[in-house]
Amino acid sequence: MIAMAVTEVEHESGFSRLISSIGSVLIGVVLFLVAFPVLFWGEGRAVKRAADLEAGSSAVATVSVDSVDGGQDGELVHCVGEAATSDNLTDSVIGQSAAALRLRRSVEMYQWIETSESTKRKKLGGGTETVTTYTYSTDWSASYEDSTEFAELGHDNPPMPAEGETLDAQTVTLGARSLSPELVSQIDDFTVLAPDTEAIASVTLGDRSASVSGDYIYFGVDPAMPEVGDVRIKLETVASPTQVSIVAGQAGETFGSWTTPDDRELEPRLEVGNHSADEMFAQMNDENTMMTWIIRVVGFGMMFIGMMMTLRPLVVVADVVPFIGSFIEGGAFLISFAVSLPLTLATIAVGWIFYRPLLAIGLLALGAGILFLGIKMKRKSKG
């Protein structure tokens, strides 16, 4: 790995910062307002998803994969068996084939990578000085680093000669049933496919010929001393057969979505291995909880950032004297937090109030308590 650094200094006047901060007020207001429907939608989504999973958990029936009962069409079923195929998948770049459920090609290129670190310092009069250090190093990366966008030219990366790709078998069976492409794509138990030296003997990428380096097919002179533009490719497969567990609506001899009592759709679900229906629904409930908290954090973040952007002009004006500006900025942070947190809790409570009134009342009380405490502390500090 080669590393080097270059430093760039940027100055911004106080007037320019003020104009920019005034322009950000509108964005801040929009972020703040949009946070409310995002939070409300997130709670509605969580409640509906929980209701669908509860209905599915109560309705699901475990069936055999060896036969299909036409009388269960449209019902939610659970089954465990071996997914298998007779398809032969061939990678279009390497030309190597495998009898597998899935074949994945991962491509990495040795290239220049730019990283940056900035330090901003306030100056008397409201201006700022930003010192940015750009570091350039060489390393393997699966994503292309566009060197034309680098701050300093001279660290040139050639185009990526190949991209990653995943091929799925078209005909996959599970006993007497078949799996849809949607379910096949959920079988993610990949293992490395050992490079076939005969298959790669005549393969080239540009002017680079192929050789074997561990699990990789290497395109370059020396794997121990890679050069910018060298490429390494790894092939992985999902073996046939692979044991899987499925919860889905029965649709003839295959699977599809299941319609809940509330006329919503529960999508087909596959997990690798032997899992009971209860285990699979527990996992889906855990994922629902995680997604709910992610949306809550995003909503709070939108509200908080929106408030900070709205108060930004006050901070910039106070930055005429950096010490005062830092003090005002700290106050803006506290105000934004003190306003955003109770409003987030209140919005969450409103979103739940029609479904879980007891929890909603508790959240409203907590939000009101935080807001009351903040007001009380502010009055005490003034006194």
Q: What confidence score (pLDDT) does residue 350 get?
A: 80
Position 201 in a domain: no
- Summarize pLDDT for 181-238 with one digit per residue, the tens: 999 999 999 999 999 888 888 888 888 889 999 999 999 989 999 999 999 999 999 9
- Summarize pLDDT for 70-110 with one digit per residue, the tens: 889 999 999 999 999 999 999 999 999 999 999 999 999 99
Question: Domain range spanning residue 30?
Answer: 13-54+286-382
The CA distance from 193 to 322, in Å, is: 60
Q: What is the pTM of this model?
A: 0.80
For the record, the structure tokens of 344 come out as 């987030």
Q: What confidence score (pLDDT) does residue 298 get?
A: 96
The CA distance from 265 to 180, in Å, is: 17
Position 318 in a domain: yes
Q: Are 164 and 107 in contact (CB under 8 A)?
A: yes
Terminal-to-terminal C-alpha distance of the chain = 61
Position 44 in a domain: yes
Position 344 in a domain: yes
Q: Give me the amino acid identity at 36.
A: F
Q: At CA 377, angle to CA 371 and CA 379, rounded to 5? A: 105
Q: What confidence score (pLDDT) does residue 123 get?
A: 63
User: Tokens 């990495």 map to which residue?
Assistant: 108
Q: What confidence score (pLDDT) does residue 177 get?
A: 94
Position 81 in a domain: no
* Burial class for 381, CB neighbours closer than 10 Å (0-12, 13-18, 19+): exposed
Position 310 in a domain: yes
Q: Give me the half-sphere count of Cα atoms (radius 13 Å) on the Cβ side of residue 78.
A: 17
21 phi, psi to nearest 5 deg: -70, -35
202 phi, psi to nearest 5 deg: -105, 10
Q: At CA 95, angle to CA 94 and CA 98, rounded to 5? A: 110
Q: Are 314 and 284 in contact (CB under 8 A)?
A: no
Q: Are 101 and 296 in contact (CB under 8 A)?
A: no
The CA distance from 350 to 330, in Å, is: 30
Q: Are 258 and 43 in contact (CB under 8 A)?
A: no
Q: In the chain, how many domains are there?
A: 1
Q: One digit per residue, pLDDT tens: the chain, 383 residues?
A: 555 666 665 655 554 655 676 778 888 889 999 999 999 999 889 989 999 999 999 999 999 999 988 889 999 999 999 999 999 999 999 999 999 999 999 999 999 999 888 777 766 665 566 778 888 999 999 999 999 989 888 899 999 999 999 999 999 999 999 999 999 999 999 999 999 888 888 888 888 889 999 999 999 989 999 999 999 999 999 999 999 999 999 999 999 999 999 899 999 999 999 999 999 999 999 999 999 999 999 999 999 999 888 887 776 665 555 556 566 677 778 888 888 998 998 888 788 776 666 666 666 677 677 767 767 776 766 65
Q: What confidence score (pLDDT) does residue 364 get?
A: 66
Q: What confidence score (pLDDT) does residue 133 get?
A: 86
For residue 5, the cross-strand partners are 135
The CA distance from 292 to 283, in Å, is: 14
CA 92, distance to chain mean position in Å, is: 28
Q: Give me the amino acid identity at 96.
A: Q
Does residue 37 have a cis peptide bond before it, meaning omega lies within 30 degrees of 0? no
What is the widest separation between alpha-carbon atoms in the chain? Answer: 84
Q: What confidence score (pLDDT) does residue 352 get?
A: 75
Position 322 in a domain: yes
Helices (H), 185-272: 197-200
Q: Are 56 and 260 in contact (CB under 8 A)?
A: yes
Position 298 in a domain: yes
Q: What confidence score (pLDDT) does residue 198 get?
A: 83
Q: What confidence score (pLDDT) does residue 32 get?
A: 92
